[in-house]
Structure 1
Amino acid sequence: MPVLTRLIPSPVFVDINAGALDDLAGLLADQRISSSGKLAVAISGGSGLKLRDRFAPELPGADWYCVDGGTIDDAVRLADAMRGKRYDAVVGLGGGKILDATKYAAARVGLPMVAVATNLSHDGICSPVATLDNDNGRGSYGVPTPIAMVIDLDVIREAPVRYVRSGIGDAVSNISAIADWELSHRETGEPIDGLAAAMARTAGEAVMRHPGGVGDDDFLTTLSEGLVLTGIAMSISGDTRPASGACHEISHAFDLLYPKRAAAHGEQVGLGAAFAMHLRGAHEQSALMVEVLRRHGLPVLPGEIGFTDAEFVEAVAYAPQTRPGRFTILEHLDLTTDEIRDAYADYAKTVSS
């Protein structure tokens, strides 16, 4: 009887622990990613410079590149700077913007990319997607999954706590995203990748139900693992469906309608997820999500991130336009602005009671 299997795109190794960066060169050599130590390391021009001072002695054969930000132009400039030089791999050392720019640049020059996350702000740290600003706003670009993922909890604790909170919101929003995927399967026949859905749901549930807090290593490990698993789930499905539904449509609407006032990604998608769960009538899950978000210091009402109720209603009404072709609870209900206003009033009353 034949054994049917499939190859799952995932990192060669994932190292999540305190002190993981103490011997990065040794890890890369042991995994046969870079035995020569000839690496290109991309960092930010701010906090990244401090990391360079700290870790440069551990990587004597590396060339260091400062990346100005998270735009498509920044990523192309990084690729051009590395072109024609011999490297075993490219290391992205930083937060989401640096990692996304490095993913894109590594893909352009045909080198494997090692992701070293210095904060846990979102699930893109191990995903096959680079989200970069461009002339039209923001675009998502398909790239290879990082060949290796390193998260040093000692470094994570040094980052501002708002980054951890943002990652919590992004992880918890998986629950809403999977519910939207299942809804689309029932209503439109869209196929579901069961393995990808299981991984993303498990990641979200693990974070949502963990009793620890942002200063707890056990909780930080669970959050790190959840974000990595979500990235792999997206690799398996071939798109962002396991982690992106109405919650992300609402967040993208905030980004597009109020670009200078948008809050952290995880704050917006967490709020969007709680509201989306309320919309679909999953009031117990919505209440649990609200409780968890509040416990970790995340917003559950638009006023808590500087938006009026009217602006939130406008964002929800605009949200389906941000992902044409994606079917979520928003497309399913197809609410008028007045109906969205009434639904939000009911949600706000429930949250405030």
Structure 2
Amino acid sequence: MPVLSRLIPSPVVVDISRGALDDLAGLLADQRISSSGKLAIAVSGGSGRALKERLAPALPGADWFPVAGGTIDAAVKLADDIKGNHYDALVGLGGGKIIDVAKYAAARVGVPMVAVATNLSHDGLCSPVATLDNDNGRGSYGVPTPIAMVIDLDVVREAPATFIRSGVGDAISNISCVADWELSHRLTGEKVDGLAAAMARTAGESVLHHPGGVGDDEFLVVLAEALVLTGIAMSISGDSRPASGGCHEISHAFDLLYPTRRASHGEQVGLGAAFAMFLRGSHADAGLFTEVLRRHGLPVLAEEMGFTADEFVRAVEFAPQTRPGRFTILEHLDLTHDQIRDAYADYAKTIRS
């Protein structure tokens, strides 16, 4: 009997631990990513400066490139700055914006990319997608998966807790995303990659059911692992489907309709996921989602996120236009403006009771 298998795109090394940054040079050399130490390192202009001072003595062969914002223009500029210099790898050192800029630039130049995350705000840390602001708002660009993933829990703890809370919302939204994927399979025949779905759902449930909080190392490890696994799930499926459903359509709608007022990605998708679970008729699951979101300090109502109920209804109504061709609970129900308004009122009443 033949033994069948498939190759799964994933980092060659994932290091989630306290003090992981202190051995970054050794890790890259041991894994033969950069034995020469000739690295390009992209950092933010804020926290990146302090990290540069800390790491520069151990990385004497590295060139440092400050990055201003998570835009397509910044990514193209970084690619232009590093091309032709024959670097072993490009290291993205910072939060989600810096990592996404580095992923895009590395893909454009054709060098391996190492993600060194300083916060846990979303599942893009290890995904094959770079989300960058452009002239039309915000776009998603396909890129290779990082060759290595490093998360120093000591550094993560120094970041504002809002970043960790955002990661919680993004992680648990996987459960709603996979439910949308399976709904599409049943109703439209869309193919579901079972391994990718299982990985994304398990990652979400590990965070949803963990009793710890943002100040707990054990919880931070589980959250970091969940975000990394979600990125790998997207690589396995070949797109963002395991971690992008109706909840993400709602978030994209907020980004497009209210670009100067949007909340964090995790806050938006967390609320979107709770509402999507309610729309499925699963009030118990919606209740669990809102309970966990509240426990971690995340909003469960539009008003807690700085939006009116009418603005939320408008975002939900607009949401399907953000991902044409994607089938979720929103496309399935195809609710009118008044039906969305009534559903949100029922949701708000249910979670308050």
Using the size of structure 1 for normalisation, the TM-score is 0.99
Q: Cα RMSD (Å) of the superposition? A: 0.5
Moved more, 280-289 or 223-232: 280-289
Name 2:132's counterpart in structure 1.
Answer: 132
The DSSP-based 3-state class of the residue aligned with 1:173 is helix
Is residue 240 of structure 1 aligned with residue 277 of structure 2? no
The DSSP-based 3-state class of the residue aligned with 2:2 is coil
Counterpart Cα distance in 1 of 2:110 and 2:261:
37
Counterpart Cα distance in 2 of 1:163 and 1:133:
19
Counterpart Cα distance in 2 of 1:130 and 1:264:
16
Name 1:186's counterpart in structure 2.
Answer: 186
Name 1:222's counterpart in structure 2.
Answer: 222
Name 2:52's counterpart in structure 1.
Answer: 52
Is residue 288 of structure 1 aligned with residue 288 of structure 2? yes
Deviation at 1:109, TM superposition (A): 0.9
Letter in 2 for 1:248: H
The DSSP-based 3-state class of the residue aligned with 1:26 is helix
Counterpart Cα distance in 2 of 1:152 and 1:281:
40
Name 2:30's counterpart in structure 1.
Answer: 30
Is residue 165 of structure 1 aligned with residue 159 of structure 2? no
Is residue 74 of structure 1 aligned with residue 74 of structure 2? yes
Letter in 1 for 2:66: C
Letter in 1 for 2:255: D
Counterpart Cα distance in 2 of 1:133 and 1:346:
35
Is residue 263 of structure 1 aligned with residue 266 of structure 2? no
Deviation string 1:52-83 (CA, Å, 9 cap, x unpaired) is 11111121110000011111110000000001
Name 1:85's counterpart in structure 2.
Answer: 85
Letter in 1 for 2:341: R
Deviation at 1:137, TM superposition (A): 1.1
Name 2:150's counterpart in structure 1.
Answer: 150
Counterpart Cα distance in 2 of 1:118 and 1:131:
17
Is residue 2 of structure 1 aligned with residue 11 of structure 2? no
The DSSP-based 3-state class of the residue aligned with 2:165 is helix
Counterpart Cα distance in 1 of 2:136 and 2:22:
41
Counterpart Cα distance in 1 of 2:180 and 2:32:
40
Counterpart Cα distance in 2 of 1:330 and 1:27:
45
Using the size of structure 2 for normalisation, the TM-score is 0.99
Counterpart Cα distance in 2 of 1:320 and 1:244:
12
Counterpart Cα distance in 1 of 2:345 and 2:94:
40
Deviation string 1:302-324 (CA, Å, 9 cap, x unpaired) is 00010000100010000000000
Counterpart Cα distance in 2 of 1:319 and 1:83:
38
The DSSP-based 3-state class of the residue aligned with 1:290 is helix
Structure 1 ranges of 4+ moved more than 3 A: none
Letter in 2 for 1:127: S
Deviation at 1:246, TM superposition (A): 0.5
Q: Give the unaligned 5+ runs of structure 1.
A: none
Give aligned-pair identity as a percent. 79
Counterpart Cα distance in 2 of 1:55 and 1:208:
35
Counterpart Cα distance in 1 of 2:302 and 2:206:
26
Name 1:40's counterpart in structure 2.
Answer: 40
Letter in 1 for 2:12: V
Deviation at 1:241, TM superposition (A): 0.4
Counterpart Cα distance in 1 of 2:34 and 2:128:
22
Q: Give the unaligned 5+ runs of structure 2.
A: none
The DSSP-based 3-state class of the residue aligned with 1:8 is coil
Letter in 1 for 2:39: L
Counterpart Cα distance in 1 of 2:296 and 2:254:
22
Counterpart Cα distance in 1 of 2:86 and 2:321:
44
Deviation string 1:134-185 (CA, Å, 9 cap, x unpaired) is 1111111100000000000000000000000000000010010000000000
Letter in 1 for 2:324: P
Is residue 15 of structure 1 aligned with residue 15 of structure 2? yes
Deviation at 1:282, TM superposition (A): 1.2
Letter in 2 for 1:133: D
Deviation at 1:90, TM superposition (A): 0.6
Deviation at 1:97, TM superposition (A): 0.5
Is residue 231 of structure 1 aligned with residue 231 of structure 2? yes
Is residue 304 of structure 1 aligned with residue 301 of structure 2? no
Counterpart Cα distance in 1 of 2:8 and 2:282:
32
Counterpart Cα distance in 2 of 1:84 and 1:9:
27
